[in-house]
Amino acid sequence: MSWKRWLLGTPLETERFREERLRVPIALAVFSSDALSSVAYATEEILLVLSIAGASALHYSLPISAVIALLLWVVIISYRQTIYAYPEGGGSYIVARENLGTLWGLIAAAALLLDYILTVAVSTAAGVAAMTSAFPGLLHYRVGVGLPFLFLLAVGNLRGVRQSGRIFAVPTYMFIFSMTSLIVAGIVRAWLGYPAVEPPVATFPDIQHPLNLWLLMKAFSAGCAALTGIEAVSNGVQAFRRPESRNAAVTLMIMAGILAFFFLGTSYLAHVYVVVPGVGQTVVSQLGRAIFGAGPLYYLMQIATAAILMVAANTAFADFPRLSSILARDRFLPRQLANLGDRLVYSNGILILAGSAGFLLILFGGNTHRLIPLYAVGVFLAFTLSQAGMVARHLRLKGERYRLHALINAAGATATGAALLVIATTKFLQGAWIVILLIPLFVIFFLRTHRHYFYVRQQLSLREIEPERPLRHTAIVPISAVNRATVYAVRYAKSIAHEVEAVHVAIDPARVDQIREQWKAWGGGVPLRVLESHYRSMVQPLVDHIDDLMHGRRRNEMVTVVLPEFVTAHWWEGLFHNQSAFLIKGALLFRPGVVVTSVPFHFSR
């Protein structure tokens, strides 16, 4: 068994594709882990901004959280309509492309792809932060801890959708249990008047800023990270079992209810227990110590939090390859991204996502607070375009109660559009400018890719093809020595062409006479041409000779270069040969009218 089969499992038959679809309990784990995990850092980001204005500003976290929760439900209701309107999935890209135009669709796709990459990077970094809160000794090894987890996520997803869903369902439901226990126990303790087991130590910056509207807007934009990931269900409707739209809608509503409860509960407890983000301690970690103490329940919660944050990236691993495949199908990305791998997953998209997120993790040192400012711009842009597209769709089709549906989506577009402006403005200098710059670059790449495929389609078209005519065909056999491999190559060349010529590039002039004598005996009547090489290059004289042959001939004439090529018994034995055949292939690849073929000579073991 090869290492690939051991790591990823045996290939699955195409007919089993429908069997790989997900039921609601597993789908909730696959598609909601990103959204649910955001409660581990969304409240913390709000408090981090407000803390620079002192203790008196912290109580604003509650109304800010309430506004974000209201925005969450507006978006959820809007996306529920999208699921039923577009059961084939594709989310914001499909909605915007079909209703607003191709360019807006590509902008939504670029925003989502960037958001998925950032989701993986942020989730991994936040998961490591949860671990370092419980085990501070790991703080200086954040990247080293995060990359292996990223590798395991990629491998898990390469093994297949259903199998990865079962694997990652455990940490998702463990987190749901832990957070529910934390919030319920914390509320009960607070209402009964019990003091904190380990009271948090509130530390504020030495230099405090005045509380103003700009600061509140920054806190709001930071907390909007809680909404990232909720579009995942609408993007992956086709991953659900039948009836796809109904199961996806049920999953979306369950996810929204849990997310709202967790987010508002965390913000309330942080207010009651006066928790302020500190170095080396997350807000959830401080709440755990305050409510559970440093006992088994606390460590279970930290392990569950770290696990859900790690597997939160699984949502992006489910949607990034799927969206990439749709773009590839529409010829806006390389077509390799539309191919299903051995395990009925889009393997190329998974590998690109893992590599891109790993690069960001290294670039930003695994620091969650440095990565989050890049976050949310893309997803809110996708939110806005999707809802605006749905408004256009309702007004165009005029279906049942279309005015009400259009009003709901218009409210969603307005709310997310306003949030987008706040996020882009307040986070611009902190790093959001990078995402704002990358989105048009992605769109340019999409358009260039589409132009390339259009050009290829034109070039391969059968329209106005020239009539068939007799083809004059010359075969050239480059030889470095007279041996069994070259003799077999010449015999093959004589079988495919009437005109055959052997060519020897004279790197060592002292051997030329010997080769001429040997050729008389073994050349089979094929003429031998010796090319001078003043600069000891084997490739360039051969290329020049072929150019001379092609010059002035009719366009339909061809030259076939037949290369004798050694195939060694062991891979490492190939290192002892100069790989001249490979160099010749590379030099002739872009020359029209030239065909290069190899005649392999296999060495026995």
Distance between the two ends of the chain, CA-based, in angstroms?
Answer: 22
pLDDT of residue 313: 73
pLDDT digits (tens, 9 = 90+) for 560-601: 999 988 877 777 776 676 677 788 888 888 888 888 998 888
Tell me how far apart the alpha carbons of residues 239 and 230 are, in angstroms, rounded to a whole number: 16
Q: What pLDDT band is residue 17 in, cutting at 50, 70 and 90?
A: very low
Give yes or no for residue 201 having a pLDDT over 80: no
- Residue 421: CB atoms within 10 A of its CB come to 14
pTM of the model: 0.73
Residue 73 or 17, more confident: 73
For the sheet with 594-602, list strands across it. 528-532, 499-506, 473-478, 558-567, 594-602
Closest CA to 58 of 70, 44, 68: 44
Please tell me the least confidently modeled range out of 114-128, 133-147, 337-351, 356-370: 133-147
Residue 422 or 368, more confident: 422
Give yes or no for residue 439 having a pLDDT over 60: yes
Cα–Cα–Cα angle for 360, 365, 368, rounded to 5 degrees:
80
The CATH number that domain 473-602 falls under is 3.40.50.620
Q: What pLDDT band is residue 207 in, cutting at 50, 70 and 90?
A: low
Average pLDDT over residues 60-84: 87
AA letter at 390: M
Whether a cis peptide bond, with omega within 30° of 0, leads into 243 is yes
Beta carbons of 80 and 253 less than 8 angstroms apart: yes
pLDDT of residue 556: 45
What's the gap between Cα 355 and its chain centre? 8
Q: Where in the chain are all domains bearing CATH 3.40.50.620? A: 473-602
CATH architecture of 3-14+22-454: Up-down Bundle (1.20)
Q: Which two tokens mark 10?
A: 């045996």
Closest CA to 61 of 186, 230, 202, 218: 218
pLDDT of residue 2: 54
pLDDT digits (tens, 9 = 90+) for 465-499: 777 766 778 889 998 888 888 899 999 999 888 88
Q: Where in the chain are all domains bearing CATH 1.20.1740.10? A: 3-14+22-454
3-class state of residue 71 by DSSP: helix
User: CA torsion, points 288, 290, 294, 299, in degrees to nearest 10?
Assistant: 0
